[in-house]
Chains A and B, each alone.
Chain A
Amino acid sequence: MSVQDDLETVEWDVSEDAHITVDNEQCITCEDKPCLHLCPAECFDYQEDQEGGIYFAYEPCVECGACMVFCANDPDKGAVSWSKAEGGKGVEFDFG
């Protein structure tokens, strides 16, 4: 099993608007890029052709808030802008 297989078990009602956005300019100077291993839904992917090497997808987000803490709230990082998904949208757990 990989986490991608596990994510197949999760349901979303995906919003048209991203609740989390990434300012890739801030990723250029980020050396360890903790988003790549700390996001439990692998929303962050390393892609060389992206500015700062980060491709971000909000769609598979499980809404844990980790990226707000390890990126948005870190004065040396701050690429992530974080808010809660709009009413009725986003992840839908059945067995929380």
Chain B
Amino acid sequence: MTDVAFDVVVVGAGRAGVAAAYKLADEGFEVALVERAKQPGMKNVTGGVLYGSILDDLVPEFPEEAPLERHVVEHNIKLLHGDAEVSIGYRDLELREEPNYTLILGKFDRWFVDRAVEKGVTFLSETTVQDVTQEESRAVVHTDRENGDIACDAVIGADGVNTTVGRKTGIQRTMRNEDMALSVKKVIDVGRKTIDQRFNLDSDEGAAYIYTGFPQGAATIGYFIYTFDEYISVGAVGGLETLRWLGDEGYGETGTPLYSLLEDFMELDNVRPYVQGDAVEEYQGILVPEHSYDTLPDRHDRRVALVGDAAGLVLNKGYTFRGLDYGIKSGLVAAEAVMECAEDGDWDAFGRRYDTSLEDSYVLQDMKQHRHLPKFLKNERMYDAYPGIATETLRRMYSAETDASGLTWRQAYRAFRRSDAGVLDLLKDGYRGLRSL
């Protein structure tokens, strides 16, 4: 039998779940926020920047009060090609006007949950959800606590990429290798001063680095470096299906461990100066959803809505990862759907209302606009031929060893003719690139 009842149960205290719970408690709803970790953030891992304007309305004071790491004012994309690296750096003091920050979730999520509890949210830690059932006039969240069934009008599944809510309710289809990327990450204690010097930053400023092209031609393998207050994080991301077959280190003489790729990446002459330091504070692993708009899994049933990573709301734009703000926005949209259902009592419409509003929100509009990007980023020429053309062109421009006569466009054309890419490929990829952005 069910022992307790709430208006809404939110499963998972990541940013998406906490944003939903916070908003609902603020509106006077009885909300239970169920989390399996001892402390918020202990099960949570990110490799992204918080594009923070999404929190402006909900917690306007967050830039002053939240435990944020560094204010991101610089972004770098680096294409590796053999000994060379071609990079695009973007630094803009106007970015100071935008609340974009690096985060350590162990600190941020704890703060966010504390704020939600102040608003009246009931926080249940050390509680793992095992099943969710929908009955005639309510939903029930079954937990591993004794007498741990919780009845409610609606359930918000914010339980991450491996969502129990999505799997047990049958909302989400079975995930396969093609749907998921693996990420491993190291957090290294470098010290504030060294970070400022190494990355050319004032001490509250932060920088983000995205790398591709290593190993040469390996599509969907990328790396990142983020600066925190005292630490840096350096990580690798790769599609599971790519990692399964890339190289020959695996048992079946196919495959490469992602942690080996990260080690090799960190040893590259171009990378080592940024990431050196023996004081690894923590090693982490996480799955990252890799859907395009057209392959997004289902995210709702009658009384259940999936938000954040549980709904696959992550987009690798090639030059940055979006997900932290998508999660928060989807949580807020779910909270608004709850409010709508409380108004007219039609709780069976909860999931559908959430889904419709999410479709109109900037999260799915953004993913829709970039619907061809995930496929575009799987194109091997992006990781081999094109960085090669750029490298050869620049080498001819800057190296005294090569004949630098002739116009730059002619050098670029010669480099292109020597590459494996054909004119048709270039035209097609150029068109696809423009279309996907």
Contacts and interface: CB of A to CB of B under 8 A. Distances in A.
Interface of A: 1, 3, 5-7, 9-10, 13, 31-34, 36-38, 40-41, 46, 62-66, 68-70, 73-74, 82-88, 90-96
A22 B28 CA distance: 46
Interface in B19-53: 36-38, 41-46
Given A37-B257, A40-B182, A74-B176, 13 more contacts: A3-B283, A9-B283, A32-B252, A33-B250, A38-B240, A46-B251, A69-B287, A70-B177, A84-B128, A87-B128, A95-B187, A96-B43, A96-B46
A65 B180 CA distance: 10
Contact of A96 (B36, B176, B284): B284
A93 B44 CA distance: 7
B127 interface: yes
B250 A34 contact: yes
A95 B281 contact: yes
7 contacts: A3-B257, A7-B283, A34-B252, A65-B162, A73-B176, A86-B144, A93-B45
Contacts of A90: 43
Nearest to A36: B251
Interface of chain A, main secondary structure: loop
B111 interface: no
- The size class of the interface chain B forms with chain A is 35 or more
Interface of B: 36-38, 41-46, 104-106, 109, 125-128, 130, 143-145, 161-162, 164, 174-177, 179-180, 182, 184, 186-187, 231, 233, 240, 243-244, 249-252, 254-260, 263, 280-287
B282 A1 contact: no
B240 A70 contact: yes
A87 B143 contact: yes
Nearest to B39: A92
B41 A66 contact: no
Given A73-B174, A87-B128, A95 B42 contact: no
B143 A92 contact: no
Nearest to A19: B128
Nearest to B42: A92
Contact of A69 (B43, B144, B176): B176
Nearest to B178: A69
B145 A87 contact: yes
B310 to A, nearest CB: 12
A10 B184 CA distance: 13
A66 B240 contact: yes
Q: What are the 3 tightest A-B residue pairs by CB atom distance, in nearest-first order?
A: A32-B252, A88-B126, A40-B285
B283 A87 contact: no
> Residue among A31, A32, A94 with the most chain B CB within 10 A?
A94
Nearest to A73: B174
A38 B244 CA distance: 7
Given A13-B38, A64-B182, A96 B45 contact: yes
Contacts of A85: 36, 128
A32 B281 CA distance: 33
Contact of A88 (B36, B182, B251, B286): B36
A41 B258 CA distance: 11
Nearest to B184: A40
A40 B288 CA distance: 14
A74 B43 CA distance: 25
B162 A84 contact: yes
B41 A96 contact: yes
B37 to A, nearest CB: 7
A80 B322 CA distance: 31
Contacts of B285: 40-41, 62, 64, 66
A49 to B, nearest CB: 16
A1 B280 contact: yes
Contacts of A38: 182, 240, 243-244, 255, 257-258
A94 B106 contact: yes
Contacts of B41: 93, 96
Nearest to A82: B162
A19 to B, nearest CB: 9
Given A38-B257, A66-B180, A93 B42 contact: yes
A73 B167 CA distance: 12
Contacts of B255: 32, 34, 37-38
A62 B289 CA distance: 17
B283 to A, nearest CB: 4
Contacts of B257: 3, 37-38, 40
A46 B252 CA distance: 12
Given A7-B283, A69-B180, A96-B41, A31 B252 contact: yes
A9 B256 contact: no
Contacts of B263: 1
A20 B272 CA distance: 37
B244 A73 contact: no
Contacts of B184: 40
> Residue among A31, A37, A84, A88 with the most chain B CB within 10 A?
A37
